[in-house]
Amino acid sequence: MNGKPLIGLNADYRAAKKDSPAFTYLCAGYYDCLIKVGAIPVILPPLPDVKDLRLALDHLDGFILIGGADLDSRRDGFMLHPSMRLMDPRREDFDRMLVSEIARRQMPVLGIGAGMQLLNVSQGGNLSLHIPEDFPRAVPHADPLDPNHRHALEVVPGSLMERVYGEGEIRVNSMHHMAVDDVAPGFRVTARCPDGVIEAIESVMDDWFAIGTQFHPEADSASALDLRIFEEFLLGATGTVAEMRMVA
């Protein structure tokens, strides 16, 4: 690979209101973390045409699916839950097209928060729609009064998460009410909260480097160690890209 890798980022979207125009926005932590680990972030707006999306992805070395509001569970054959706060349909339309194209070309990908949930459902997994109901004994996974709310994390030996965090007690931020339930075929769980809620997954397929975290390593509430997730993603992405180019 020549030069710094180009890593794509999707973005959030808010439709026009009476007092403001429509706009696209993104938490700076996502691109700040990529810059810190030596990548060039490339932000994609919600493109309507798959041909334009494919052209953009042709120039990228990997992609990060960002977090956000809730996915519309009706699109996956489930009812809505009263607790859901849905992302804008324009963003969700694009995100679902995006993850489908990423999977088709097996592009290196890191899904964060809702991005991990989308990665999982797009590949045949499903979601818990409200942790307090589905896991009554679960610890709190969100605290509206504490943006720095954290809980413990148990990592699976031999996983990317273990390479990031090593041994010992780990705590990560937590700001979600939905979570991965059944893991998609081709993926495995690599970290859980001690209450059993899934907090990280990764691909077990030899030809697709794909990982996801339910917690947010890019957020202000993240620890310095969380940055290593981006380092590991970049290593995996650039290695995968180099192998693909050698084959080509």
Span 28-46, pLDDT tens digits = 999 999 999 999 999 999 9
Q: What is the distance in angstroms between the CA of the first residue and the CA of the last residue of the chain?
A: 14
Q: What are φ and ψ of residue 119, in 5° steps?
A: -60, -45
Instruction: Find the Cα–Cα–Cα–Cα dihedral 205, 211, 212, 217, rounded to 10°.
Output: 170
| pLDDT at 2 (0 to 100) | 62
6-9 β-sheet, strand order: 40-43, 6-9, 62-65, 109-112, 210-213, 198-203, 187-192, 150-155, 170-173
> What pLDDT does 133 receive?
87
C-alpha 116/C-alpha 132 separation (Å) is 20
Scanning the structure block, which residue is given the tokens 């273990």?
Answer: 162
Within its chain, how far is the Cα of 144 from the centroid?
A: 21
Cβ atoms 149, 163 nearer than 8 A: no
User: Minimum mean pLDDT among 83-87, 129-133, 223-227: which range?
Assistant: 129-133
CA 46 – CA 25 distance, rounded (Å): 11
pLDDT at residue 240, as a whole number: 64
* DSSP, residue by residue, 136-168: TTPPPS--TT-TT-EEEEEEPTTSHHHHHH-SS
Tokens of residue 99, six digits: 């993850």
Please, what's the largest Cα pairwise distance for the chain? 53
Q: How confident is the model at residue 246 (pLDDT cuts 50, 70, 90)?
A: very low
Q: Please spell the DSSP secondary structure of 23-62, one letter per residue.
A: EEE--HHHHHHHHHTT-EEEEPP--S-HHHHHHHHTT-SE
Cα separation, 116 vs 112, in Å, equals 5
Report yes or no: 180 and 120 within 8 Å, Cβ to Cβ.
yes
Q: What is the mean pLDDT of the chain?
A: 92
CB 227 within 8 A of CB 36: yes
**What pLDDT band is residue 3 in, cutting at 50, 70 and 90?**
confident
Residue closest to 10 by CA, chosen among 22, 25, 21: 25
Q: Three-class SS of residue 214?
A: coil
- Residue-level pLDDT at 239: 85
Residue-wise pLDDT tens digits, 69-99: 999 999 999 989 989 899 999 999 999 999 9
Q: What is the dihedral of CA 182, 97, 199, 127, to 10 degrees?
A: -30
Among 4-8, 111-115, 139-143, 200-204, the minimum mean pLDDT is found in 139-143
pLDDT at 131: 85
Output the pTM of the full model.
0.93
Residue 197 burial (CB count, 10 A): 21
